[in-house]
């Protein structure tokens, strides 16, 4: 829950407080529960570290070999989609991110600047996630650093027991059965990037009831979902996004977020690539609300309650 303070909306998360002393020193309230002057960690066997990592990861792979929803891409749209979907504890959400670091382009604002601009009504989603922002005027709000949004939604999302993020994992292809997308073909990203340098390195698979593709705009691995749909004949054209128009772009991306073929929903900038919507530049509200809408498109495809079916 967010609390309003003047023109600022701040998260209710408790922060550590401090007091200034007469000599100028800062005394932090709450001392560590260990002695930093004589610190010794408990002993561990190196093999135990290996076993714990391997057992847990392999267990996750087994548990998610069949899943309810796969979200391809953990940028702002993909994370927002996973956030909305995972509110239902009975839905298993599997997020695949080709990069080691999830978040896509939402670690910075435009031109490598810090601030994130979110046009209204996107501030309601920020408040729900618990991201503090400055309410600047009737049209937009500002998060002081884009990383504040990404780190907040990512950390809270990963605490949910029905969500698993597989990062450094690429979706190389789709599983398609009888015209319906039924999952993804996966491989380690480093393997995917080196198919031309090594002999055949076969992939793995994840079956899913619905796939949400949020791979962003055109790039080395961008818009890969709709590009693959075009190559296998399930969509006719992928014209690419057109020149920047923030107002048309954000409305258009949310409006066109949909289940584009049975079993596959598109969201975020991938929508712009498929439909020739303008690029929007450094505003992020459409990414969040397109992701949220994509979640409800997936719920609709699953035959579950959603806000799109009146």
What is the DSSP track for 256-288? H-EEEETTEEE-THHHHHHHTPBP--SB-HHHH
- 177 DSSP β-pair partners: 180
Tokens 């890969």: give the residue: 224
279 belongs to an annotated ligand binding site: yes
User: Would you say 171 is a known binding-site residue?
Assistant: yes
| pLDDT confidence of residue 257 | 98
For position 66, what pLDDT does the model report?
98
Q: Is 269 annotated as a binding residue?
A: yes
User: CA-CA distances (angstroms) from residue 171 to 100, 105, 133, 178, 228?
Assistant: 14, 19, 34, 20, 11
pLDDT at 24: 59
pLDDT at position 31 is 86
The reply, when asked if residue 98 is annotated as ligand binding, is yes
Q: Check the annotation: does 252 bind a ligand.
A: no
Tokens 């994130």 locate to 116
pLDDT at 5: 40
What pLDDT shows up at residue 19? Answer: 45
Name all contacts of 13-18 with Cβ < 8 Å and 24+ positions apart.
13/130
Annotated binding-site residue? 145:
no
CA distance linking residue 162 with residue 82, whole number of Å: 10
**Is 195 marked as a binding-site residue?**
no
Question: Residues 16-54: pLDDT tens digits?
Answer: 444 444 555 665 568 899 999 999 999 999 999 999 999
The Cα–Cα gap between 93 and 91 comes to 6
Q: Is 202 flagged in the annotation as binding?
A: yes
Low-confidence spans in the chain with pLDDT less than 70: 1-29
Q: Distance between CA 169 and CA 307 in Å, rounded? A: 31
Answer for the pair 94, 64: CB distance below 8 angstroms, yes or no. yes
Report the pLDDT value the prediction gives residue 26, as an integer from 0 to 100. Answer: 60
Residue 105 assigned ligand-binding role: yes
Look at the alpha carbons of 259, 282, 79, 83 in this order and tell me if their dihedral is positive or negative: negative
Q: Give residue 13's pLDDT.
A: 40
């Amino acid at each position: 829950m967010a609390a309003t303070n003047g023109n600022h909306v701040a998260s209710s998360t408790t922060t550590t407080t401090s007091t200034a002393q007469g000599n100028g020193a800062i005394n932090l309230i709450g001392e560590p529960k260990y002695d930093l002057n004589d610190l010794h960690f408990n002993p561990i066997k190196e093999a135990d570290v290996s076993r714990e990592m391997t057992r847990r990861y392999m267990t996750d792979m087994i548990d998610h070999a069949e899943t309810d929803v796969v979200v391809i891409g953990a940028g702002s749209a993909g994370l927002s989609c996973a956030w909305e979907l995972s509110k239902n504890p009975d839905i298993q959400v599997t997020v695949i991110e080709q990069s080691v670091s999830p978040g896509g382009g939402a670690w910075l604002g435009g031109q490598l600047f810090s601030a994130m601009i979110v046009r209204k009504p996107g501030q309601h989603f920020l408040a729900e996630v618990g991201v503090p922002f400055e309410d600047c005027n009737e049209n937009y709000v500002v998060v002081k650093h884009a990383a504040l949004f990404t780190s907040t939604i990512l950390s809270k999302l990963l605490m949910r027991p029905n969500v698993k993020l597989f990062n450094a994992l690429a979706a190389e292809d789709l599983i398609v059965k009888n015209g319906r997308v039924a999952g993804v073909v996966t491989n380690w990203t480093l393997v995917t990037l080196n198919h031309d340098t090594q002999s055949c390195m076969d992939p793995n698979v994840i079956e899913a009831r619905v796939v949400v593709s949020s791979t962003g705009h055109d790039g080395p691995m961008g818009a890969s979902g709709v590009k693959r749909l075009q190559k296998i004949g399930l969509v006719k054209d992928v014209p690419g996004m057109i020149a920047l128009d923030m107002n048309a772009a954000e409305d258009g991306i949310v409006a066109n977020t949909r289940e584009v073929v049975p079993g596959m929903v598109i969201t975020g900038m991938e929508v712009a690539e498929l439909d020739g919507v303008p690029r929007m530049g450094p505003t992020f509200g459409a990414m969040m609300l397109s992701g949220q809408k994509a979640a409800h498109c997936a719920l609709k495809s699953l035959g579950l309650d959603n806000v799109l079916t009146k």
